[in-house]
Amino acid sequence: MQKIIRWYDYITINIYYFALTARSQVLTPLVVPLLVQQFVGEETKGTSYGNLRLYSLMIALLVQALMGMLSDRSTSKWGRRRPFIFVGAILESFVFIAIGIIASRMDGMAGYWALFAAIIVSMITSNTAHGAAQGLIPDLVPENLRGRFSGVKAFFELPAPLIFVSFVISKMISAGNIWAALITLIVVLLLCMLLTMFVKETPQQKAPYPMDWKPLVRLLAMTAAFTVIILGSGQLVKYLISLTSGMSEAAGNILTGLIALIGMAIAVGLGTWASLAISLGGEAKKDSSFTWWVINRLAFLVGATNLAGFVLYFIQEKFNYVGEQAAVPASMLTMFVGVAILISSLPAGWLTDKFGKKPMIAFSGFLATIGTILVTTSNGIPMLYVGGLLIGLAMGVFYAANWALGTDIVPKEQAGRYLGLSNVAGAGAGAIGAYIGGPIGDGRGYVLLMTVYGILFLISNLALLWIKDPSSKKA
């Protein structure tokens, strides 16, 4: 435990989250969608992007858990976490160079598959560093200061990188200069890594516990089962949507939207049940509230995560932007969402204590739906940003209230184990929404797809009916 905390420790321990968020906000909503569009064309861009997201996120889920476990046991003279952060950042820089080469020299499906491979490798290198970085605060910060350090971490994770990407990197991409954007990202990544190297870690002489591969095997089985369920749901949705091809546009859109909602709901419910059954075994049946809590979290995040993932294609369609022109409004919308999350997350904790966890979660679902309606019906960019603000406010409330409810539900003696399984919602949300949603955007448009995500916020509220809140007076 590091006993003496200096002012710069708040920066060095948390600065790498700036790089991680900058990376995700440059690649996921901007560079990757544009390159997929460039390589595969308009007709299948959503489907191709969804396939890439599915497999890359499943890889990320596995690698982050593995690297967290390996860094726990590291006996390097550099310390437990910094070697992984150093190696991850250096290798990630080479991946960004590879993406630049792919973007400038390749085309067609060869370019797409090269990009696919590069993003898979990027997920491995990024999560090598991310899995280790998450251990810095628990390792080095006294318990009475962890709230302050977490606050600084939130600043580096949300508003700071979002503002930077919106006002600096997005303009490079909008001008068609992907190389400049990637080089800037490499500089950010390496600077944040070098600052993290100033963290003072005390090397451990031996691993704190014997290596136990059983949790990783369970995680591998859980990920495989979740992936199969998503693939099955996606194929079923594609088949059913193909039957609407001869219908009128209005009838086809309504039926497609309904099929998409049912398919995503099946993937959320069945995927959560299978994942928790593999991870927890019989324990999952003792109290179904935890399962329904994960379902509520996953359903909400499917909408929230994929609104951002497909926002570039949506803006192109809605406002007739061409290619990179949509990069600036797309990143600005993401920034408004991020700042709103930061603004609402702190008062949301107080409101949750005052009005109850489930009512605030339900409120967040309704507010996110209203925000999505404003986004999908907006006639101009300003109204688009207003809708984004409402979605961001809803997400801030949801994160606070949903997590508070989860910490009440899980067994206290196994809180880390149970809450760690909430990562299923984080990775699964992007995979479900992108893989199932991509073909819908290709076939029926991205306005319809965004509408589906908005309705999914409401569907997430249904899970609250089966969750027992131990802290409520009724319970």
Specify whether 75 is located in the same domain as 125.
yes
Q: Which domain holds residue 27?
A: 1-200
Question: Is residue 59 over pLDDT 80?
Answer: yes
Q: What is the pLDDT of residues 218-268, one digit of tens each?
A: 889 999 999 999 999 999 999 999 999 889 999 999 999 999 999 999 999
Q: What is the pLDDT of residues 76-120, one digit of tens each?
A: 999 999 999 999 999 999 999 999 999 999 999 999 999 999 999
In-domain check, residue 144: yes
Specify whether 181 is located in the same domain as 259.
no
In-domain check, residue 442: yes
Indicate the pLDDT class of residue 423, thresholds 50, 70 and 90. confident
In-domain check, residue 208: no
Specify whether 347 is located in the same domain as 420.
yes
Specify whether 80 is located in the same domain as 157.
yes
Mean pLDDT, the chain, integer:
92
End residue of a domain, out of 154, 170, 200: 200
Of all residues in the chain, the percent with pLDDT exceeding 90 is 72
Specify whether 237 is located in the same domain as 263.
yes
Specify whether 26 is located in the same domain as 105.
yes
Closest CA to 267 of 304, 242, 308, 301: 301
Confidence (pLDDT) at 3: 62
Indicate the pLDDT class of residue 335, thresholds 50, 70 and 90. very high
Specify whether 8 is located in the same domain as 62.
yes
Residues 167, 157: Cα–Cα separation, whole Å = 16
φ, ψ at 381 (rounded to 5°): -65, -40
In-domain check, residue 474: no
Specify whether 345 is located in the same domain as 404.
yes
Specify whether 192 is located in the same domain as 298.
no
End residue of a domain, out of 178, 200, 222: 200
Give how many domains the chain has, as a whole number: 2
Question: Residue 222: which CATH number?
Answer: 1.20.1250.20
Specify whether 381 is located in the same domain as 301.
yes
Specify whether 106 is located in the same domain as 166.
yes
Specify whether 17 is located in the same domain as 70.
yes
